[in-house]
């Protein structure tokens, strides 16, 4: 896992979620996380299915945020869970061993716990202050990110308040992937913005 980590955001998107996803796939992103905190279950199912179709035959893998049932229903490549979502053990039991499971963490203790349980990667959030996730909590900064990187061997995804002005510091702190939602989907050319971040990884 390396490069830009894409998360959908219908509220911030200027081109529409499906167009954003298509552009992200074109830009070669490895992970497409479908996140929609306000839609009903049928909408989540329908949209996740469409994204699965867009990703088919490409290097991009579909990860569903929070909703294990949607991940199961559309046969997604994985799911991303937070500290207050379904426990990791139950999520793994339901989805099986081959499905990717990422876990959001906020400090070294949570990161070590997630790794010990068997998480495939951890999402460190928020690194900086962010307005795209209302319950994100206090920013942990790059010092905590670096401490998590030193403590854990699984891939680390950095999320929250990241843009082109600070992404190099985040990568230097040890992030394998970065997500910068507003810096990408709020712009007219999503693919071009993603490629700027990919370039910071030499991709």
Tell me if 101 sits within 8 A of 144, measured CB to CB. Answer: no
Cis upstream peptide for 137 (omega within 30°): no
**pLDDT band at residue 133 using 50, 70 and 90 as cut-offs:** low
**DSSP code at position 146:** H
Domain boundaries, the chain: 3-200
In the CATH hierarchy, which fold is given to the domain comprising 3-200? TIM Barrel (3.20.20)
- pTM for the whole thing? 0.95
**Per-residue pLDDT tens for 91-125?**
999 999 999 999 999 999 999 999 999 999 999 99
Phi, psi dihedral angles at 6 (to 5 degrees): -95, 130
Per-residue pLDDT at 129: 86
User: Which bin fits 191, alpha (ψ -120 to 50), beta or left (φ > 0)?
Assistant: alpha
């Amino acid at each position: 896992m390396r490069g830009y980590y894409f998360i959908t955001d219908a509220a911030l998107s200027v081109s529409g979620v499906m167009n954003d996803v298509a552009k992200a796939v074109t830009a070669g992103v490895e992970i497409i996380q479908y996140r929609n905190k306000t839609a009903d279950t049928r909408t989540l199912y329908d949209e996740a299915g469409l994204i699965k179709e867009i990703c088919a035959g490409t290097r991009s893998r579909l990860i569903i945020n929070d909703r294990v049932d949607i991940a199961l229903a559309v046969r997604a490549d994985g799911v991303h869970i937070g500290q207050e979502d379904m426990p990791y053990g139950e999520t793994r039991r339901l989805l099986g061993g081959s499905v990717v499971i990422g876990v959001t963490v906020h400090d070294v203790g949570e990161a070590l716990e997630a790794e010990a349980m068997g998480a495939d990667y951890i999402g460190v959030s928020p690194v900086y202050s962010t307005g795209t996730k209302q319950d994100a909590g206090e920013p942990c900064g790059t010092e905590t990110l670096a401490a998590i990187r030193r403590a854990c061997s699984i891939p680390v995804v950095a999320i929250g308040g990241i843009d082109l002005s600070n992404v190099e510091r985040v990568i230097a702190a040890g992030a394998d992937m970065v997500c910068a939602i507003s810096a990408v989907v709020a712009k007219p050319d999503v693919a071009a913005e993603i490629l700027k971040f990919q370039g910071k990884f030499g991709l």
